[in-house]
Amino acid sequence: MTRTDGRTTIVHVSDVHATSGELLYGAIDGIERLELVGSYLVEAGITPEAVVVTGDLIQRGHSSAYPALGRALDRLADRVGAPVLTTLGNHDEPEAARVLPGHALGHHRAVDLGPVRVILLDSSGRFLAADQLRWLRNALAAPHPGGTVVALHHAPLGSPLPALAKQGLQNADALLDALEGTDVRLVLSGHFHHPLAATVRDVFVSVGPSLAYHQVMNAGPEFVSGHDSAMFSLVHLTPHAVSVTSVSMRTPEPLFSSRAAASARDIPAARPA
């Protein structure tokens, strides 16, 4: 949990694409991968203040997966000892999603993590409605001691991949107008299925990789293609810095292992040729 040095840790997960009755593309079980995230965090000794999941919680047409997904989210929260906060994406169904933890009364809200505040927005229609933007402005009118993290599915920018270049938030300027001059330190989003970091109008935006599949980055300008690679992001906020690290869930055999405290003199030097 929050360290004495003021560091706040957020595990950022996106694009779970949970299914019901079949595996995504015949291979991917989104709910099982949420369980693997919990195992990874426990084994790595990571104790976050929150896990934030930015949308596409289910695969389109699989709303019957929401109850099982909700139970998996609760199990993850219990395992890591921190709240699991979710937003909706374009594959999600807002009415059916009300069974999920935190969504019974609506799909946008603010959560206090102590020093840091997280604001969760609903971009399931690929835009933010006017009433949600008004609510956001009101919420940001009073700054939080350690600043604010905004989370939503669609980033306020496009992907560098030609096929996804116009797939960001449709009214991105309206969101950025609402964030201007506030205490927002970071925007977390997903949707692209590949990590991306950018500064947009002085706002740091981190697009998380997908838990379901990763974009094939050289598939060609007319194609969207995915390969089976599950990833999430580890976010650290200190009073003076924000860092984001992409973490792969693959577990290949290590080339080497050594104690982290080993000094340079413990590493054998290369012999001259």
Q: What is the mean pLDDT of residues 253-264?
A: 68
Q: Cα separation of 193 and 78, whole Å?
A: 27
* pLDDT on residue 96: 98
* pLDDT on residue 218: 87
The string of pLDDT tens digits covering residues 6-21 is 899 999 999 999 999 8
Q: Cα separation of 157 and 267, whole Å?
A: 44
CATH number of 8-266: 3.60.21.10
**pLDDT above 70 (res 220):** yes
Report which residue type is found at 242: V
The string of pLDDT tens digits covering residues 113-128 is 999 999 999 999 999 9
Residue 159 CB partners (closer than 8 Å, separation 6+):
165, 167, 168, 192, 194, 196, 207
Whole-number average pLDDT of the chain: 92
User: Would you kindly state where each structural domain of the chain is located, as residue ranges?
Assistant: 8-266
DSSP β-ladder status, 203-207 and 184-189:
parallel
